[in-house]
């Protein structure tokens, strides 16, 4: 058995934990021939499969791509899209782009924070809800926009958002 | 794939489309107000009314007037068109019923409204007409014929010349002549060259590129293929924002369709030209819109810029010559090849040719996408086309260019929209975001908002940007909280100058623009904010 075969055999069997989600990550790495320049693509897949990137997952990716853990950690923390913390059951993303800002996005965010007691960028203690902000969703024509559980809603106001939050957490 | 086969596909598609069309916008704006359900119920209603009818319900791209979505456009065989607004799924029967005469009980938009009348469609000519998820629809609109013409009937040099003579300038914001960029890459001797489409539309308030990709992805792919032939590249990347899942989905689909048809991949149109396109999904870093940072990101690194020269045209991805153009720039290529350079050069102003797409948003009555000839004044766009503010308040300023641009005061609304005029007044063309503000908005607060953005998005590589933006933000926050002094304003001005001239890349170099432009045009607000 040659050295390369050795390394691949270990990976082909997936993660020692037996978690099948690692297979999805594995498939993406394989498609990119384990090239370390595919790191961002792999992180995207990993986050999609796991919801967030924990240290174990980052180390696993670093090992598979033969990249320094510091580089993988550096890339994962550089980009805003990647999160190293688990998200709540529900998410509420308030767009704070320019168009939304001039149409009162900050008031909406404040109302969400007050209604739920969760501050922007954090998750409630019971893991029910994460409140986040977005740079710009590109939905400026229907500003102010808020994303509830992945669905964009336009022309929001403090009242509609508070009502929606009540429904979401009921 | 060859030309007769392409024509056959186009004819077949056109024949199938001889009757009445019901076009529903399924771009992101309308989609978030449930336009997919509208499309589905219209499709069902058309079949219910008459299973053998020649009425076709199509899911198309952006119909531009986003504030009135979901939008549905009905075109009769005689060319008569009606545009319905705020359509709900339950309106479907009424719209289909009105096809045989009578009026539907749905609000309509006047197609002669200045919002539409002032527009000129070059980049968006297919938007709202072709179905973005079907290549046949794009081919029926003459798609990929320009690529055939280029690959089989022109030399690479002729293509570069054509683009140079058209006077096209980069639509990403800086306005660098596209032909010069192409010529630089074309003359490099290298075994491998790359073409990159910059779809990392990071400016908050801009959504033109997203709309183009969602509405007409093949147009961008064809433009990229033509550029690759001209400069001698065999591999292309579309670097698209992770925040645009729908654009990514439609692009992925379009690339697969084009490859299957033989207009991308190896031996394009049975020639010796090979060109492959892959998608790279960005991960939410504004700085990656800067070309050297974008290259680092494509290589799987942190997106930090590096000093230029060498420019990417000489040394880009993995050290190979790389052509980087914006989405809208690529979308301009097909019409230039098809209609000729003289036609293109006849539109616009002396130094800025063609049209520009703007994403109109903020405090205006009609928001959405507009495409106007260069040289149109801000007055025409904001007041005539967009209808001014919705609640009869005064327009105070128009912000263009996002965090790299500036605020143009209402007194300067007669400024024509072209690269030079906007730069002269302290703003920039930018990628095309245009946000209108009224007399309730504080200009210092807007400057603070953009500085906060730049501060958080600074990659941290160079000190002037990393430290300067934090200090500038602190000064602006002090002023907006009412604790500012005259010395703070002086420091703001001085520091802006330092950051502008000493930062490594465009992010830092342009970050002070919102401050400088508001200092210049709204000095009274800064004076009022000073506590003695």
Residue A147, strand partner residues: A93, A152
Asked if pLDDT for residue A8 goes beyond 60, the answer is no
Check B69 against A101: CB less than 8 A apart.
no
pLDDT at A13: 54
Q: Record the tokens describing residue A39, joined without a space.
A: 């790191």
Smallest Cβ–Cβ distance between B204 and the set A35, A44, A98 belongs to A98
What's the gap in Å between the CA of A30 and the closest CA on chain B?
A: 16
Domain boundary, last residue among A50, A78, A106? A78
Is the CATH code 3.90.230.10 the one for domain B142-344? no
Place of tokens 């506590």: B531
Q: Which of A99, A152, A154 sits opposite B362 (nearest CB)?
A: A99
Which of 3.40.50.720, 3.40.50.261, 1.20.1440.230, 2.60.120.620 would CATH assign to domain B443-529? Answer: 1.20.1440.230
Q: Does A56 lie in the same domain as A9?
A: yes
Chain B interface mutation, best of A71, A136, A143, highest count of B Cβ atoms under 10 Å: A136
Res B434: pLDDT: 94
* Residue in chain A lying closest to B438 (CA): A102
Flag if A98 and B402 touch (Cβ within 8 Å).
yes
At residue A1 the predicted structure's pLDDT band, cuts being 50, 70 and 90, is very low
Closest chain A residue to B435, measured at CA = A99
pLDDT the model gives residue B501: 97
Evaluate whether B476 touches B516 at the Cβ level (below 8 Å): no
What is the rounded distance in angstroms from the CA atom of residue B42 to the CA atom of residue B57?
Answer: 7
Express each pLDDT in B236-280 by its tens digit.
Answer: 999 999 989 999 999 999 999 999 999 999 999 999 999 999 999
Is A151's CB within 8 Å of B32's CB?
yes
Whether A99 shows a pLDDT value over 80: the answer reads yes
Q: Give the integer Cα–Cα distance in Å for B333 and A11.
A: 46
Kindly list the residues from chain B whose CB atom is less than 8 angstroms away from the CB atom of residue A153: 32
CB B460 within 8 A of CB B507: no
Q: Do B285 and A80 touch (CB under 8 A)?
A: yes
Interface test with A, best of B207, B283, B396 (most A CBs within 10 A): B283
- Distance between CA atoms of residues B428 and B422, nearest Å: 5
Residue B297: which of A40, A82, A103 has the nearest Cβ? A40
Domain boundary among A31, A53, A78: A78
This prediction's pTM: 0.94
| Whether A40 and B441 lie within 8 Å, measured CB to CB | no
DSSP-derived secondary structure for B431-484: SSEEEEEETTS-HHHHHHHHHHHHHHH--SSSHHHHHHHHHHHHHHHHHHTT-B
Residue A141: its chain B contacts at CB < 8 A? 29, 66-67, 69, 207, 359-361, 367-369
Say whether both A55 and A100 belong to one domain.
no
Residues of B in contact with A97 (CB under 8 A): 204-205
pLDDT tens per residue, range A84-93: 999 899 999 9
Measured between alpha carbons, how far is residue B338 from residues A45, A59, B118, B149, B296 in Å? 40, 52, 23, 9, 35
Q: Tens digits of per-residue pLDDT, A19-51?
A: 889 999 999 999 999 999 999 999 999 999 999
Residues of B in contact with A102 (CB under 8 A): 362-363, 435, 437, 441, 446
A-to-B residue pairs, Cβ atoms closer than 8 angstroms:
139
- The answer as to whether A35 is a domain residue is yes
Q: Which residues contact B40 (CB under 8 A, 6 or more apart)?
A: B89
User: Chain A residues with CB inside 8 Å of B282's CB?
Assistant: 79, 81
Domain boundary among A24, A58, A78: A78
For residue A106, the distance in angstroms to the closest alpha carbon of chain B comes to 11
Which chain B residue is nearest to residue A139, measuring alpha carbons? Answer: B29
- Chain A residue numbers touching B207 (CB-CB < 8 A): 138-141
What residues of A are in contact with residue B32 (Cβ under 8 Å)? 139, 142, 145, 151-154
Tens of pLDDT, residue by residue over B434-490, are 999 999 999 999 999 999 999 999 999 999 999 999 999 999 999 999 999 999 999
A14 pLDDT band, cuts 50/70/90, is low
Residues A70 and A100 in one domain: no
- Cβ-defined contact of B359 to A140 (cutoff 8 Å): yes
Spatial CB neighbours of B107, under 8 Å, sequence gap ≥ 6 = B84, B85, B86
**pLDDT value at residue A16:** 78
Which of A41, A52, A62, A138 has the highest number of chain B CBs within 10 A, making it the mutation to test binding with B?
A138
Portion of chain A with pLDDT greater than 70, in percent? 92
Looking at the structure of chain A, the number of domains it has is 2
The answer to whether residue A73 sits within a structural domain is yes
Taking CB atoms and an 8 Å cutoff, what residues of chain B touch A29? none
Inter-chain CB proximity B67 and A82 less than 8 Å? no
Chain A residues touching residue B300 (CB < 8 angstroms): 35-41, 75
Say which CATH architecture domain B355-438 belongs to: Roll (3.10)
List the alpha helices (DSSP H) in B107-155. Answer: 114-117, 135-140, 145-153
Is residue A118 located within the same domain as residue A60?
A: no
Cross-chain Cβ contact A99/B244 below 8 Å: no
Q: Which helix (H) or strand (E) holds B527?
A: helix B523-529
Condensed to tens digits (0 to 9), the pLDDT of residues B303-313 reads 999 999 999 99
Q: Which residue has the tokens 């019971």?
A: A126
Residues A70 and A40 in one domain: yes
Instruction: Please report whether residue A84 resides in a domain.
Output: no
d(CA B45, CA B57) in angstroms, rounded, equals: 10
Residue A57 sits in the same domain as residue A102: no
Which residues have C-beta within 8 Å of that of residue A20, sequence separation ≥ 6? A14
pLDDT at A136: 87
Domain extent for A32: 3-78
CB contact under 8 A, B280 and A79: no
B407: left (phi over 0), alpha (psi -120 to 50) or beta: beta
| ipTM of predicted complex | 0.90
The answer to whether the beta carbons of residues B512 and B472 sit under 8 Å apart is yes
Residue B74 distance to chain A (closest CA, Å): 22
Mean residue pLDDT of chain B comes to: 94
In a domain, A83, yes or no: no
- Hey, are the CB atoms on A74 and B302 less than 8 Å from each other? yes
Cβ of A40 and B280 within 8 Å?
A: yes
Q: Stretch B96-104: mean pLDDT, rounded?
A: 86
Q: For strands B355-362 and B433-438, give the pairing.
A: parallel
Residue A85 is assigned to a structural domain of this protein: no
Query: Which among A98, A139, A151 has CB closest to B29?
Result: A139
CATH no., domain B17-110: 3.40.30.10
The tokens 């063609």 sit on which residue?
A: B354
- A140–B205 C-beta distance less than 8 A: yes
CATH number at residue A130: 3.40.30.10
Q: What is the pLDDT of residue B532?
A: 53
Confidence at A7, pLDDT banded by 50, 70, 90: very low
Contacts of A105 (CB under 8 A, 6+ apart): A94, A95, A96, A97, A143, A144
Smallest Cα distance from A155 to chain B, Å: 9
**Every domain of chain B and the residues it spans:** 17-110, 142-344, 355-438, 443-529
Three-class SS of residue B10?
A: helix
By Cβ distance, the residue of A39, A102, A135 closest to B435 is A102
The mean per-residue pLDDT over the stretch A103-132 comes to 93
């Amino acid at each position: 058995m040659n050295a390369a075969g050795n390394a691949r055999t270990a990976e082909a069997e997936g993660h020692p934990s037996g978690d099948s989600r690692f297979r999805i990550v594995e498939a993406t790495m394989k498609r990119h021939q384990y090239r370390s320049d595919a790191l961002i693509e792999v992180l995207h897949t990993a986050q999609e499969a796991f919801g967030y990137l924990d240290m174990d997952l980052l180390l696993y990716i670093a090992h598979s791509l033969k990249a320094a853990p510091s580089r993988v950690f550096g890339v994962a923390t550089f980009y805003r899209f990647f999160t190293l913390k688990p998200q709540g059951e529900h998410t509420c993303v308030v767009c704070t782009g320019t168009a939304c800002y001039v149409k009162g996005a900050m008031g909406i965010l404040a109302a969400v924070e007050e209604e739920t007691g969760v501050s922007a960028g954090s998750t409630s203690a019971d893991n029910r809800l994460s409140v986040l902000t977005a740079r710009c969703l590109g939905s400026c024509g229907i500003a102010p926009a808020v994303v509830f559980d992945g669905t964009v809603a336009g022309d929001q106001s403090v009242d509609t958002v508070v009502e929606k939050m009540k429904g979401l957490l009921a | 794939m060859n030309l007769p086969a392409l024509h056959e596909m186009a004819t077949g598609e056109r024949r199938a489309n001889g009757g009445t069309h019901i076009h529903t916008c399924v771009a992101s704006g309308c989609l978030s107000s449930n336009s997919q359900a509208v499309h589905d119920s219209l499709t069902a209603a058309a079949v219910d009314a008459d299973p053998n009818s020649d009425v076709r319900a199509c899911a198309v791209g952006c119909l531009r007037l986003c504030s009135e979505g979901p939008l549905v456009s009905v075109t009769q065989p005689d060319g008569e068109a009606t545009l319905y607004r705020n359509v709900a799924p339950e309106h479907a029967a009424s719209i289909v019923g009105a096809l045989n005469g009578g009026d539907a009980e749905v609000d309509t938009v006047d197609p002669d409204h200045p919002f539409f009348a002032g527009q000129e469609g070059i980049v968006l000519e297919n938007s709202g007409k072709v179905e973005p998820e079907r290549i046949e629809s794009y081919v029926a609109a003459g798609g990929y014929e320009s690529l055939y013409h280029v690959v089989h009937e022109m030399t690479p040099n002729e293509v570069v010349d054509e683009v140079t003579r058209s006077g096209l300038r980069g639509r990403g914001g800086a306005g660098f002549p596209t032909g010069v960029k192409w010529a630089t890459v074309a003359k490099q001797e290298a075994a491998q060259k790359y073409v990159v489409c910059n779809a990392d539309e990071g400016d908050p308030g801009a959504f033109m590129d997203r709309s183009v990709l969602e509405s007409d992805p093949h147009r961008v792919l064809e433009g990229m293929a033509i550029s690759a032939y001209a400069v001698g590249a065999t591999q292309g990347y579309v670097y698209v924002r992770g925040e645009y899942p729908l654009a990514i989905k439609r692009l992925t689909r379009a690339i697969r369709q084009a490859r299957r048809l033989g207009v991308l991949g190896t031996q394009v149109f049975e020639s010796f030209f090979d060109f492959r396109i892959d998608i790279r999904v960005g991960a939410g870093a504004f700085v990656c819109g800067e070309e050297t940072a974008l290259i680092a990101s494509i290589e799987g690194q942190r997106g930090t810029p590096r000093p230029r020269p060498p420019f990417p045209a000489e040394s880009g991805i993995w050290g190979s010559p790389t052509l980087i153009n914006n989405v809208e720039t690529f979308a301009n290529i097909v019409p230039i090849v098809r209609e000729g350079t003289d036609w293109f050069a006849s539109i616009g102003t002396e130094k800025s040719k063609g049209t520009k797409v703007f994403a109109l948003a903020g405090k205006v009555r009609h928001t959405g996408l507009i495409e106007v000839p260069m040289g149109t004044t801000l007055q025409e766009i904001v007041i005539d086309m967009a209808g001014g503010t919705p609640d009869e308040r005064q327009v105070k300023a128009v912000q263009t260019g996002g965090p790299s641009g500036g605020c143009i005061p209402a007194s300067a609304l007669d400024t024509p929209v072209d690269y030079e005029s906007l730069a002269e007044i302290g703003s920039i063309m930018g990628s095309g975001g245009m946000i209108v503000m009224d007399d309730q908005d504080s200009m210092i607060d807007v400057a603070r908002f953009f500085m906060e953005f730049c501060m958080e998005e600074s990659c941290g590589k160079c000190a002037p940007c990393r430290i300067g933006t934090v200090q500038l933000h602190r000064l602006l926050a002090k002023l907006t909280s009412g604790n500012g002094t005259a010395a703070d304003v002086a420091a703001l001005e001085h520091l802006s100058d330092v950051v502008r001239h000493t930062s490594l890349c465009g992010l830092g170099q342009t970050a002070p623009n919102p401050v400088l432009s508001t200092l210049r045009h709204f000095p009274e607000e800064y004076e009022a904010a000073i506590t003695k």
